[in-house]
Structure 1
Amino acid sequence: MSIEFLVTALIVTVSPGTGVLYTLAAGLSRGWRASVVAALGCTIGIVPHLAATVLGLAALLHTSPVVFDVLKYAGVAYLLYVAWGTLTERGALQVDEAASPPSPVRIAGTAVLVNILNPKLSIFFLAFLPQFVAAADPAPVARMLELGAVFMALTFVVFAGYGLVAAAVRDKVLSRPSVLRWMRRTFAGAFVALGVKLAFTSL
């Protein structure tokens, strides 16, 4: 495992994106357990993209504008749905203690969909992983799976770290309704911005 791969993968996972935002929101609204579940869901959401890369389907996605657009706009629609739920207190930043908290399955399911419905991940893996597989490697598929597993492990650790930090300041945020409103609007706006950015993404 090269240091170049580890450094590059770490930079990618640390960079804020939809998964990071959702994990932060889970930590702020429901505490550290929810943030860990969200981090796990985001990590699981990488599996289909990794599998598509290894099986060669990502190459088809890269050369098929129709398939790419279908996944892209499904992802945009879902990000807007998450943004609306966050803004109206029914989604990622639902903090009403009297209301039934979202189940771990629901938290994880939303996190999985956030990553699955992002076709850019397949394109990223298609461009990223082969660079670290030697042309003379006798088992390139196994090597790519190994690299993918390390990337997923880094994703979980980094995302969980973000979520735990958010959970640590949760009480301070919840005790100040004005801050919570600002946070809710900020997160909703960020999800909308990411949706718009995805909508204008092209092959």
Structure 2
Amino acid sequence: MLSLQFLVTAFVVVIAPGTGVVYTLAIGLGRGRAASIWAAFGCTVGIVPHLLAATLGLAAVLHTSAVLFNVVKIAGVAYLLWLAWSALMSGGAMRVEPRNQAEAGWVTARRGALINILNPKLSIFFLSLLTPFLSGNPETATAEILLLGGVFMAMTFAVFVLYGLFAATARDWLLASERAMRWLNRGFALAFAALAGRLALERA
């Protein structure tokens, strides 16, 4: 089950820049170390519904139901566009500023969780990622999926924390330049908008 091939595959998937990485970097730069850890935690928790869907076979239902897939997808696109707007809006949740208004850690985590929860492709992704590494024994399939999924989540949290801490370390240097802050906010807004566009083009 926990083969080297799975660990390498999972690691490559986790470190690849995606919505969760962009979110964690933005939070690390905008709000510091503690907030970036909450962001990593939220993104990791957002994996749970998709892992359960893959375990219970709901991913196949999502894959075959165009209506359900599109409902979740549209919500996800709208949410990413809101994040893009909040990176540009003064006082926005995703805006990088020297003195961002403090927010509770669970709010930061909830925002990160929603990013993953509202991506319908993740359920199908988990089904396709984990299936090749199962033993083929129906009696242990559920336990194997949960184990592999748990390892993937632990790896996600660890890597995202490192991303967030790296961003938080660069925070003081970058916030010293108003020009750098302007381009950071534009860059994050563009990244979230691009991710929304990519999600909008996804098909079940």
Shared fold (TM-score, shorter chain, > 0.5) = yes
Measured in 2, the distance between the counterparts of 1:100 and 1:91 equals 9
Say which of 90, 93, 115 aligns to 1:91.
93
1:92 maps to a residue whose letter is: M
Runs (4+) off by over 3 Å? none
Give unmatched runs, 5+ long, in structure 2.
Answer: none
**Mapping 1:133-144, distance limit 5 Å:** 133-136=134-137, 138-144=139-145
- Alignment TM-score, normalising by the size of structure 2: 0.96
TM-score by length of 1: 0.97
Name the structure 2 match of 1:158. 159
One-letter amino acid of the counterpart of residue 91, structure 1? A
The answer to whether the 8 A contact 1:28-1:93 is kept is no
Moved more, 100-109 or 116-125: 100-109
**Aligned residue type for 2:172:** D
Instruction: State whether structure 2 residue 128 is matched by structure 1 residue 115.
Output: no
1:154 Cα deviation from its structure 2 partner? 0.5
Identity %: 51
Shift of 1:125: 0.5
Name the SS for the 2:82 alignment partner: helix
How far apart are the structure 2 equivalents of 1:9 and 1:3?
10
Tell me which residue corresponds to 1:72. Answer: 73
What CA distance in whole angstroms lies between the structure 2 residues aligned with 1:25 and 1:88? 14
- Residues 135-190 of structure 1 deviation map (CA, whole Å, 9 limit, x = unaligned): 13641100100000000001001111100100011001110010010000000000
Mark the runs of 5 or more structure 1 residues left unpaired by the alignment: none
1:19–1:111 contact (8 Å) kept in structure 2: yes
How many Å separate the matches in 1 of 2:157 and 2:73?
24
C-alpha displacement at 1:28, in angstroms? 0.2
Cα distance in 1 for partners of 2:163, 2:84 equals 19
